[in-house]
Structure 1
Amino acid sequence: MTTPTAVAVVVPARNEEALLPACLDAIDVAVEGLRAEHPHVEARVFVALDACRDGSAAVVAGRSGVTAVELYAGCVGIARAAAVDAASEWAAGSSHGSLWLANTDADSVVPPHWLTTQVRLATAGFDLVVGTVRPLPADLSPDALAAWHERHSTADGHEHVHGANLGFTTAAYATVGGYAPLRAHEDVEIVAAMKEAGLGWIATGAIPVTTSGRAVSRVTDGFATYLEGLAT
């Protein structure tokens, strides 16, 4: 694949007014880095505000380069898909030839080189980039944090899948039929489908995303539920 002509960042959010500002601030820095390295690559952020009853919409409102996608599904798989649909419409309307979809979560903070690294890997021919995450240490007990590090590799070639750190082409997304309407593990499902389809993929430890280690999950069987079980 040649260098993508556009990058869309997909962010599902459900009642995330407290953590969403830091998420978007970090994405802004990553977009600035992308524009410095690839000035002709357009970038835009799509936040899927799913059944939000707090001030998440106000956080997004007025943000330059950010599109709010409002829905009331209460389902992260549907929310991610809605944001991808909006991103695809944006790219088509702007006559962009190739669109890269970078995925993260509203409670997460991406590193400054997050997008430039994904674009480099896309240019090298990878259809799917699977990154790593690390929970915020202050959010976990010492036992839970130790258990996390014992069970998780942050090196290249890792076996983990996190919706907070994924990237893929729109062609790869279409090949597997998009995100399934699942309330959890939609990220694991889509990555497995892309691998099964024989698409080119890479698991990298070069772009770790910091994510919340909170104990209260926004979805049943989500990441917070997993973290809660580490110290037990």
Structure 2
Amino acid sequence: MSPTSVAVVVPVHDEAGLLDRCLAGLTAALDHARRTHPGVRIAAVVVLDACSDASEEIARTWPVTTVRITARRVGTARRVGVGAALAELGDPPPEDTWISTTDGDSVVPLAWLSHQLDLGASGADVVLGTVRPDFSDLTAEHAAHWTATHPRGRPPGNVHGANLGMRADVYRHAGGFPDLDEHEDVELVRAVHAAGARVIATDENEVVTSGRFVGRTPGGYAAFVRHTHDRVRDGVAEQIR
């Protein structure tokens, strides 16, 4: 059975330069999901974590709920966002509820949420989606290398909080997002794997994320982009996530 309630969470820390694009894509994807899945209830929450720029003002121009925290931890931001979204939905039955997350520097495609809901309806407990860096942030050589090392139809099953979804009962059983500075998504998925959840990897509806070299966490996606750029520049081929 397809989930009837959806909690969507976007953690944000000083993303004023990218947030409008993120929320434009997200709003379009949520509207599309409402058309493809009539009757689905969606609560979208943007968690503003220790923002000192115009992120809050930007978020408030979009049809999302905003929550302010000062944790400076993306794991805490995702966890708080899930709680806020579920509360807004009236704490629906976990087995009928889906949780999706992306990031404030990322843009989801139109069918992003609809596809996750379809996979959930077909039996997936967790959906691991792929991401790619924004090619406009990369050199032509780096972009070509990324394309060559990521053949379509063979998703590696890496974990990205920017493109992640799961049923709420599975999320709760696994303990939710841990309060970590980074890799909270990896730790959560490790827990759901250990619990025997059915995890599906897909490269359909790939999310585009910033190709910047310096991210909000030392070991986040930006570190992989920077490392791969250096390897490509030095003539050493290596696949990134």
The question of a shared fold, defined as TM-score above 0.5 by the shorter chain, is answered with: yes
The aligned counterpart of 2:130 is 132
The aligned counterpart of 1:42 is 41
**Paired residues for 1:70-219 under 5 Å:** 70-92=68-90, 98-152=96-150, 154-219=152-217
| Pair 152,88 (structure 1): closer, same or farther in 2 beyond 3 Å | same
Secondary structure at the residue paired with 2:9?
strand
Contact 1:172 1:194 (8 Å CA) reproduced = yes
Aligned length: 230
Contact 2:102 2:164 (8 Å CA) reproduced = yes
Contact 2:11 2:49 (8 Å CA) reproduced = yes
| Pair 226,61 (structure 1): closer, same or farther in 2 beyond 3 Å | same
The aligned counterpart of 1:67 is 65
The offset of 1:49, in angstroms, is 0.4
| Pair 33,156 (structure 1): closer, same or farther in 2 beyond 3 Å | farther
Root-mean-square deviation (CA), in Å?
Answer: 1.8
Where does structure 1 differ by over 3 angstroms across 4 or more consecutive aligned residues?
Answer: 93-97, 146-154
Hey, what's the Cα distance between the residues in 1 that align with 2:128 and 2:68?
27
Hey, what's the Cα distance between the residues in 2 that align with 1:119 and 1:166?
12
- Which deviates more, 214-223 or 19-28? 214-223
Hey, what's the Cα distance between the residues in 1 that align with 2:92 and 2:155?
36
| Pair 217,157 (structure 1): closer, same or farther in 2 beyond 3 Å | closer
In structure 1, the gaps of 5 or more residues are none
1:29 aligns with 2:28: yes
Query: Which amino acid in 2 is paired with 1:198?
Result: G
Hey, what's the Cα distance between the residues in 2 that align with 1:97 and 1:198?
16
Hey, what's the Cα distance between the residues in 2 that align with 1:154 and 1:16?
30
Contact 2:95 2:167 (8 Å CA) reproduced = no
The offset of 1:93, in angstroms, is 5.3
The offset of 1:96, in angstroms, is 8.8
In structure 2, the gaps of 5 or more residues are 231-241
Secondary structure at the residue paired with 2:87?
helix
The aligned counterpart of 1:19 is 18
Query: TM-score normalized by structure 2?
Result: 0.89
Percent of aligned pairs with the same amino acid: 40
Contact 1:34 1:116 (8 Å CA) reproduced = yes
Hey, what's the Cα distance between the residues in 1 that align with 2:155 and 2:228?
23
The offset of 1:206, in angstroms, is 1.1
Query: Which amino acid in 2 is paired with 1:186?
Result: E
Hey, what's the Cα distance between the residues in 1 that align with 2:28 and 2:11?
19
Query: TM-score normalized by structure 1?
Result: 0.93
The aligned counterpart of 2:238 is none
The offset of 1:163, in angstroms, is 0.9
| Pair 125,212 (structure 1): closer, same or farther in 2 beyond 3 Å | same
Deviation digits for residues 139-170 of structure 1, max 9, x if unmatched? 01234334434554553442321111000011
Deviation digits for residues 34-88 of structure 1, max 9, x if unmatched? 1111120011211110000000000111422x11111001111111101011012
Secondary structure at the residue paired with 1:131?
strand
Contact 1:154 1:208 (8 Å CA) reproduced = no
Secondary structure at the residue paired with 1:168?
strand
Query: Which amino acid in 1 is paired with 2:215?
Result: S
The offset of 1:213, in angstroms, is 0.2
Hey, what's the Cα distance between the residues in 2 that align with 1:78 and 1:68?
15
Secondary structure at the residue paired with 2:45?
strand
Contact 1:50 1:73 (8 Å CA) reproduced = yes
Secondary structure at the residue paired with 1:102?
strand
The offset of 1:7, in angstroms, is 1.2
The offset of 1:99, in angstroms, is 1.7
| Pair 155,47 (structure 1): closer, same or farther in 2 beyond 3 Å | same
